[in-house]
Structure 1
Amino acid sequence: MAAAQAMAKMSVGSPACNRAAGSLCRWRGAVAVRLGGSWSWRKSPFLGGRMAVGPRRSRPVSRNPVASPVQMNLSFGKTMKWWEKGLQPNMRAIHTAQELVDSLINAGDGLVIVDFFSPGCAGCHALHPKICQFAERNPDVQFLQVNFEEHKSMCHSLHVHVFPFFRFYRGAQGRLCSFSCTNATIKKFKDALAKHKPDRCSLGPIKGLEESELLALAANRDLQFTYTKEQDLAPSMEDGAEVITHDHPRLPAAAKPLVRQGSEDRAVVSSGR
């Protein structure tokens, strides 16, 4: 009886229990016996329990899976480039050659400053905050930004190769001045702005870019820009005759040149009567 009680005090898996093959051990309030290295339940004659014969079962896996970690999508705002910071309402980026031409034409007699810059230019980066200050102090002046990295072909057609580079335009006068400057030579920009900022009324159609520049842009295959040189033709006369300039000489089909004899010979365009 004492041996049975001592054996009952052993726990399953203990060294003492493992050494005694066929010995009885207490496990979770029941009696188990190890036979041949395995455990199996059997009826116990002295404790009224069961004896386990066979391998020990592992703890059953819960049917409820552990909740997966919550996936958090962190969205960050787009980082602004240095040339996008501090922009004023009168500052606008140019995206196409057509947009540049239209912006100069639609400005009327207002002063327009075209700012050519390169994102990798340290001088452009350093000068940008001051240009924004000038734009803020002069809301009636338009500032157009042309990014060289995005519009290399257009800048080459306009003969712009140095940065930062500025061109001033106004009404029928077209281009007023052009120059390059940095923080060290910012006085050039101040002087040009003070000289050309006062309102002026220019007579004639708005000029914008030079005709040579328009032709160069139109000839550039990388740009979607077309330009047709207009012929300067005078309006028709009441009698149906048409006056032709010497640049584009041509006569209407019904016209016949007549020569009048006299002290001076001259050609007269007749209406064909």
Structure 2
Amino acid sequence: MAEALCNGVVALPCAGDVAARARGATAALAESVPIGRCSTKSSFAAGRMAVTDRKARPPTVEALPGQMNLSFPKAMRWWEKGLHPNMREIESAQDLADSLRNAGDKLVVVDFFSPGCGGCRTLHPKISQFAEKNPDVMFLQVNYETHKSMCYSLHVHVLPFFRFYRGAEGRVSSFSCTNATIKKFKDALAKHGPNRCSLGPARGLDESELMALAANKDLQFTYEKPGLVPLAQAIAKEAAAPGGPWLPLPASATQLLTQGSENSLLSSGR
């Protein structure tokens, strides 16, 4: 080889020989490694590592039938927390009027609130405590945002706002207070809370309030003003009603009345 270099003559391999050698190497590689894979020796314990050019399939996730109907509990709103059996939310103007009319001698507290009123939210736990300590008092909640038109007719323009109703007296107190002036609520509850008997049915809303609600076209509320009844007819109706306020007359008084009526008839016959 050195002599050939010195003489300037180099013998190159034939192109055919190079091609034959390449084909032989390719065939040998194909026998040892499958198509699409390459194989190499490694010093690891496994000895051989295979790498494929196929794309890995993403893992398939199959949802079970029971997992498709996932439901989360509805978050409780702040005015729905801490409620007691003597607390409930008013659904309509008719519901408010009927609840007050059917309350009998119970003290009824109407609580006007708004979901976005910070003072109402702060005061709500205190009202719940009062309701728990006074189970004989009825607490009615009126959502201002839901019944805005009704609140306008009742002249409620500030929140939180409270109205107290008691038996035949009707509305006995009306005021607005916050957590800082809660004493106003305590005093009204102590004044009108003790049990007492009313002479007559529950009055409920004032007649002017009932007329205003009936005149509001946004409300499905009807009210007919009662007509005038003669005094004698009203007394007779109350006396004939079972369980009325009238006490039964003694037998002697009944006989005197009967004799008096007979004498008057005889004298008129003459």
**TM-score normalised per structure 2:** 0.65
Higher relative contact order (CA 8 A, sep 6+): 2
Whole-angstrom distance in 1 between the partners of 2:176 and 2:128: 17
Whole-angstrom distance in 2 between the partners of 1:29 and 1:230: 109
Whole-angstrom distance in 1 between the partners of 2:91 and 2:102: 16
Q: Are residues 1:170 and 2:166 paired?
A: yes
Unaligned residue ranges in structure 2 (runs of 5+): 1-18, 36-52, 234-270
The root-mean-square deviation of aligned C-alpha atoms, in Å, is 3.0
Q: Are residues 1:117 and 2:113 paired?
A: yes
Displacement of 1:102: 0.5
Alignment-derived partner of residue 84 in structure 2: 88
CA contact under 8 A between 1:25 and 1:31: conserved in structure 2? no
Displacement of 1:220: 0.6
Q: Are residues 1:160 and 2:156 paired?
A: yes
Alignment-derived partner of residue 25 in structure 1: 28
Whole-angstrom distance in 1 between the partners of 2:115 and 2:215: 27
Identity of aligned residues (%): 66
Q: Are residues 1:205 and 2:201 paired?
A: yes
SS at 2:105's partner residue? coil
Residue deviations 1:8-47 (CA, integer Å, cap 9, x gap): xxxxxxxxx9x92475224455999xxxxxxxxxxxxxxx
What aligned pairs does 1:43-122 form with structure 2 within 5 A after superposition? 67-70=60-63, 72-73=67-68, 74-122=70-118
Displacement of 1:125: 0.6
Whole-angstrom distance in 2 between the partners of 1:85 and 1:165: 19
Q: Are residues 1:127 and 2:123 paired?
A: yes
Displacement of 1:76: 1.4
Whole-angstrom distance in 1 between the partners of 2:196 and 2:146: 34
Residues 198, 69 of structure 1: CA spacing in aligned structure 2 closer, same or farther, 3 A cutoff? same
CA contact under 8 A between 1:172 and 1:205: conserved in structure 2? yes
SS at 2:28's partner residue? strand
Q: Write the letter of the residue equivalent to 1:25.
A: A
Unaligned residue ranges in structure 1 (runs of 5+): 1-16, 33-57, 238-273
Residues 235, 133 of structure 1: CA spacing in aligned structure 2 closer, same or farther, 3 A cutoff? closer
SS at 2:171's partner residue? strand
SS at 2:224's partner residue? coil
Displacement of 1:233: 2.9
Whole-angstrom distance in 2 between the partners of 1:236 and 1:174: 25
Residue deviations 1:100-154 (CA, integer Å, cap 9, x gap): 0010011101100000011111110100000000000000000000000100000
Aligned length: 194
What aligned pairs does 1:124-273 form with structure 2 within 5 A after superposition? 124-234=120-230
SS at 2:162's partner residue? strand
SS at 1:25's partner residue? helix
CA contact under 8 A between 1:172 and 1:202: conserved in structure 2? yes
**TM-score normalised per structure 1:** 0.64
CA contact under 8 A between 1:168 and 1:177: conserved in structure 2? yes
Whole-angstrom distance in 1 between the partners of 2:212 and 2:93: 11
Displacement of 1:70: 2.8
